[in-house]
Every structure is written in C-alpha cells, then in structure tokens.
Amino acid sequence: MRALVLALALLAVLKVWFQDSLYRSATEEALVSAYRTRAADACAHRAPAPAGAVDWSAEAEPRVAVGNPAIPVHVWQFEHELWNARFRQPYLILSVTRTGISCTYDILADTADIARS
C-alpha cells in the first residue's frame, strides 16, 4: 500500500513539473515571437557604432528573463519604486555570441540596454 501511495505521489509531482515546464516554454515562445522585432529595433537604435553592425533580428539568440539583476534593489526593499523592474517585469535578452554583446529589452518600458560580456 505504501508503494502505491509513493507511486501516485511521484506521478502527481511529474505531472505538475511537466505542466509547469510546458507552460513556461510556451510562454517564452509567445513572448519571443511577439516582441523580437521590437527588441531588435530598440537594440539597433541604442547600439554604439561597433555594436551597430550586429543584425539583432537574425544573429541574436533570444531568451526571456524575469527581473533585471542590474538594477540595484534588494529583495527586502519591496516599497522601492524599481522593485517591480528588478524582480517582476519581463525582459527579452538578445545575445550575439560571436561578439559577446547582449541587449536587454524591457518589454513594459520599451527600452533597451546594451552590455558587453
């Protein structure tokens, strides 16, 4: 009987994990397809001269991130005006591995920041 309960618990955990990973991947695909062109345009306008030669719409590898770790706000400062930008807002990050340049596009603010890694 104990083995049956453990097996059912394991199946429940696997089901929740599978649904969560499926939801996250579908959400990431939807955000990338919806905002990739806007992010590429914002990154192209924001990029300095050497990074301006990058074709952000074709070369860049996109990924979605929640929160921007570059914003200097701590988790306990929840009344800070930038807390949502640091921990809750979605960002689309376009990375070009051959040059080491990445562009972080803030989806809600429609702004971009270029960084060299």
pLDDT digits 0-9 by tens, 76-96: 998 999 999 999 999 999 998
pLDDT of 52: 55
CA distance linking residue 53 with residue 105, whole number of Å: 18
pLDDT of 89: 93
Number of H helices, E strands in the chain: 3, 4
Q: What is the overall mean pLDDT for the chain? A: 90
pLDDT for 1 beyond 70? yes
CA distance linking residue 116 with residue 97, whole number of Å: 10
Higher pLDDT, 54 or 38: 38
pLDDT, mean of residues 49-63: 77
Residue with tokens 């988790």: 75
pLDDT of 116: 82
What pTM was computed for the model? 0.79
- Return the ∠ at Cα 27 (arms to 51 and 82), rounded to 5°: 60
pLDDT for 49 beyond 70? no
